[in-house]
Structure 1
């Protein structure tokens, strides 16, 4: 695997990696392992000043996080597209941006949610576009970017924004220049897309990239995804951001880091 310049632009997803450790120790562990940044979708249980201290001591930035997405054990995966959750969703925007701003993070993801039974797709789509625009306008006032991550049925069944092309459509429809795409190569491949081709086609929209191998969503090199064409495409289009490592380690985080230490 040839990472090239991306060798020094890897971000450790600390919701997936270093889970052997308390959250308070994961950022430092990621930095020690060679990650130059970190990300995590849900830090709100800890005061922002405390999380900021973890980041400062680790010496790494938090590149992206999420708005509150609910209780995963109850099947909640965000609220941005859910008509009966509009008031709640909008009530979370300003407090989340306040919190994230204290961490120095500039990208935030509002998860769309799972399609409720009996709700018309057009209603979900319209709600999502309005709520995405609402978050984008609030974020723009703070110089922040709202990112859209499409998540396929192999990871979340009936997720509203379930394909990269659907995400691109949403971004272009609302026309906010601070709404961008979180491009996840794993989801892309699982949906049958060519990730390198999509990168070239939609490069101006991509604000963040994530990787994992398939099957199993494990470390790169453990499955069937060809990563060299992906990194070559990112380099070709001049992608200047981080590459988030959002995978489930096969046998512990440290044991699975060989792929990034041997990649050139």
Structure 2
């Protein structure tokens, strides 16, 4: 069965953030992820992880001024020093939380800056970040995001991310493949995964349309889970979706998936 990680930025947000670890564990999750840990004391986060036996699967690098609409600074030539400071902060938190993956949102392309300047800046920043994170045993990820939810975001497809990785030339740079974003941008979820599986280190899910829980839209997630397993994916699957009602009421898909896998295991044993 796939290993599912609760995204605590989006799930269980009926409760204060530090209370969500307990709720995730109670719901049967063994791993968690979230966007940004930086407003919380890292040892307080670590204590919650340890208290409930949870694995911190992933968090993001700082991404600029989120409230003002920034979605990353790695492509911005006038923010290189800030990017380096943010990298140090990400390493500090990731090591404290024993988090082995950090995602970099690369940013929205600003008007008036040539693409070659943005790309050169991005490649240099990612090369540095991959090297520094690698010294601590932490993977660096980059994530394609659909152009409808975040217009102007610099990476939209898995293929674009793979091309950046090739240019960076690091063996510590991987793709975070969010199936919701991929479905909105290009579809062909399994074919794309197989094509770039050597560079995809983390998968996230939500259904489309709506970015709600599996089973509420057009994506056949039982098929996707089976196909990922058959293709050899062994990583976590981050549950980064917006519950239609409450998180707990929307977890029927997870119970059904566990039941489906138990049935499959019984069939294997009997055969």
Is TM more than 0.5 here?
A: yes
Query: Which residue of the partner structure matches residue 267 of structure 2?
Result: none
| Structure 1 residue 74 displacement after superposition | 0.5
TM-score (norm 1): 0.95
| Structure 1 residue 155 displacement after superposition | 2.0
CA distance in 1 between counterparts of 2:136 and 2:204 reads 25
Aligned residue pair count = 258
The 5 A counterparts of 1:236-247 are 236-247=230-241
The 5 A counterparts of 1:10-21 are 10-21=4-15
CA distance in 2 between counterparts of 1:198 and 1:17 reads 27
Q: Which runs of 5+ in 2 are unaligned?
A: 261-271
Match of 1:224 among 218, 231, 250: 218
Corresponding position: 1:98 with 2:92: yes
Corresponding position: 1:183 with 2:177: yes
Match of 1:52 among 46, 55, 60: 46
Q: Which runs of 5+ in 1 are unaligned?
A: none
Cα deviation code 1:167-225 (max 9, x no counterpart)? 11111221211111111111111012301001111111111100000000000000011
CA contact (8 A) 2:37 2:93 kept: no
Query: Which residue of the partner structure matches residue 259 of structure 1?
Result: 253
Query: Which residue of the partner structure matches residue 60 of structure 2?
Result: 66
CA contact (8 A) 1:196 1:229 kept: no
| Structure 1 residue 95 displacement after superposition | 2.6
Query: Which residue of the partner structure matches residue 77 of structure 1?
Result: 71
Runs of 4+ more than 3 Å apart: none
CA distance in 2 between counterparts of 1:153 and 1:137 reads 29
Match of 2:117 among 119, 123, 147: 123
1:204 is paired with a residue whose SS is coil
| Structure 1 residue 256 displacement after superposition | 0.4
Match of 2:134 among 111, 132, 140: 140
TM-score (norm 2): 0.93
Structure possessing the higher radius of gyration over alpha carbons: 2
